[in-house]
Amino acid sequence: MAVPEEVDVVGFGALMMRISGERGEYALPMPRKKRTRRLTVYLFESTVTEVEQALLSEKTKNATRVSLSQETGFEGCFVYQNFDAKAPDWIDFVGPLLDQSVEPIRNQNSAGALILKFEERVFGFTFGFGRSFLDLSKVEPRFGLRVALNMVDPKQLKSLSSRTFDSVMLSTDMQSSKVTAVNTFEPDEYRDIVRAISGDVNGGGPVARVSGTESLVFTTAIEPAQLDKLCERFLMEFRSDEYTKHFPWVDKLTIVSEKDKITALDGLLVKELNCGVQDTHLAAPEIIDWTSVSHFEIEGAGRYHFDDLDLDEYCENLRAKKVFKIETLKRRKVSICYSRTGEVEPKWKLYDCLVSEQRMEGILYALISGRWFEINESLVKEVDAYISTIPEVETVFRSGPKSELEEDFNQRVTDESEGYFLNLDRITIRPTGASSPIEMCDLLGKGKEMVHVKRKSRSATLSHLFAQGSVSLEAFLGDGDYRENMKERIIERYGCEATEHLDLIPDKGEKFSMSGYKVWYVIVADSSKTGTDWLPFFSKLNLKMHAERIRRTQATVQIKRVSTVDPIVVAS
């Protein structure tokens, strides 16, 4: 007999099998496929041992509660509520455009939550707006993400959501038009904080596709009476660290969600601010157009105009010399005054602009864009080990006053070097294909030193400085037009006085090696800490990334901190 063929037979209203045999062709009904459902589940912390602890009493007081059938053997309850039908907001917008009234349009919402207890752990399955019934402050913050990472096939991903730390937190949502491997999304293993992942399940089974964040969203054809089997599977996957084989970078940076831990870290932050130490600074929590900014205003300092977000300057100009409180930091606003209009716009909370690193119980945490992040100790050790391989610049630079600007520092060092350094500060060239011009360096030494200078304050991060060193070096190496244009600009500024320095820049078509070239990062900053401990962790992380890029060109990289108080003499 021939292989059965699927066919839609007119009159049957269902999918049929057409079968050919000795007696001719005939049709039989196809077996019905099981209906699949898309479900959402939360796991509560181990401190939640009873069903009632998982629910918010103020949200469920008007809801209907139903006990579970004894035949299921499940312990738990179902809570649901129907909300009054309401006209959608958009009808008021569309109505004036119509030449006649429309029949009443109503939206009706509902909410349901199925609470199940399994192996002394409590699960919450939500339907509609049922999430509002749950006490989300008690759920496991990474339950869905861990389960999804363990269950998903790393070659069958659909989407990846992450936050990337640079000088600010950047959110990225990447989705593929078809399932694909994790490498397609090009995650940054050092700076990406994974928030959510979605993909097809590895090895098949009752669950087809999963999406994990705080909750787990999954597609399944399982019968309701088998939910205990799913809870067992999810609990096993949550406790497993198998995901580290395919996603080893996921745990390097994680968001802190536990309220008690956040409160303790906030306490350390406030204590540090009130002691006046220098390990916390201010930074805009999002990318802004600096060309449109006239100044900043920070609540608590009156109408004082801040050219930059500077924590020291803010503390000096506080009208009321009171101790900091976390409530005050979260209440006070940081505003931008726009240069074109003069309009002052409240932009962020002061707390959201604080960048701080705190150690608690031997673990390093960072406050960025209003969120605390836990930094894996193995990552800290890896970064510190690499930074220890970057030698210190032996050349000494005489320190200047604290009020000295970067451009003044560069010119003074140039003058005191007796011709060894050439000041290239503010000479910018746009590399081929780039969207903006960049400096080659601030100072160019006769020994092929490309010196990049930054005054570090509690208003600035160093990521831009480190990026400038690697990006400009790569343009120098690979873009002949960039080198040619740079030489022309140097001749315009210095003429024949720069002959020795011009010889260090190869001609447009010349082949050359970067061996012998040196990238120096010179940072003007005061600190009582030794070695490179004065660098914040994320600055070290950025330095590591860009130092690796520099070394791949065969150039070397070195770093130097110049104090504003110790008298030292320039020597080439």
Q: How many CA atoms lie within 13 A of 402 on its CB side?
A: 6
pLDDT tens per residue, range 507-561:
999 999 999 999 999 999 888 778 888 888 888 988 999 999 999 999 999 999 9
Q: Is the pLDDT of residue 209 over 70?
A: yes
Q: What is the mean pLDDT of residues 242-250?
A: 86
- Are the beta carbons of 199 and 178 closer than 8 angstroms? no
Write down the domain spans for the chain: 259-375, 381-563
Give the separation between CA 70 and CA 68, rounded to whole angstroms: 6
4 — pLDDT class (breaks 50, 70, 90) = very low
Q: Is the pLDDT of residue 174 over 70?
A: no
In terms of DSSP bridges, do strands 421-423 and 443-445 run parallel, antiparallel, or are they unpaired?
antiparallel
- Are the beta carbons of 221 and 204 closer than 8 angstroms? no
7 — pLDDT class (breaks 50, 70, 90) = very low
Which residue is associated with the tokens 């745990």? 251
**Better-predicted residue by pLDDT, 48 or 279:** 48
Q: Is the pLDDT of residue 385 over 80?
A: yes
**Better-predicted residue by pLDDT, 204 or 58:** 58
Q: What is the mean pLDDT of residues 204-225?
A: 90
- The beta strands (E) that lie in 350-408 are given as 354-360, 363-368, 371-375
- The dihedral built from the CA positions of residue 192, 193, 195 and 196, taken in this order, carries a sign that is positive
Other CB atoms closer than 10 Å to residue 404's CB: what's the count? 14
Q: Is the pLDDT of residue 180 over 70?
A: no
Contacts with 456 (C-beta within 8 Å, 6 or more apart), sequence order: 462, 523, 524, 525
Lowest mean pLDDT among 256-260, 296-300, 390-394, 517-521: 256-260
**Better-predicted residue by pLDDT, 465 or 249:** 465
